[in-house]
Amino acid sequence: MKGLIQRVSQASVTVDGEEIASINAGLLLLLGVEKHDGEGETKELCRKILNYRVFPDDAGRMNCSLLDIGGDLLVVPQFTLAADTSSGARPGFSLAAAPDVAKKLYGSFLADARLQLGVGKVKEGRFGADMKVGLVNEGPATFMLESRLKGG
């Protein structure tokens, strides 16, 4: 499982011209589910993302996590993060989880995040939809995180 996080002052998701989710200061997470992922990867990546220290402390150093600052989290499902780009000029998607599996694990990730951050702090994109994602990246600060487990 892969998560691309961006530290933002604001972010939003629009589907069919309607804004379906928005956050203020926090993290935008693009979440990619791979075919060998399971509940173990979901829990590990959620823990890692919520505790990852990418927000400045009083000295301006990246020493605070999303949990520390009480920030918001916007989670957007993005199967293209699971693309195989190792050859050719076109991505392959054989590494991505099947849609039904990915949707289930996306839901599990959201549930875990809401349990730790609070329901109102976690917003979501729409699985399988053509989404427009807007953001103001602070820093810019962008990090790719992956679960270390395989086949959880």
Residues that are catalytic? 78-80
34 torsion bin: left (phi>0), alpha (psi -120 to 50), beta (else): beta
**Residue owning tokens 């150093």:** 61
Contact status, residue 152 vs residue 37, Cβ threshold 8 Å: yes
- Using CA atoms, how far apart are residues 89 and 106, in angstroms rounded to an integer? 29
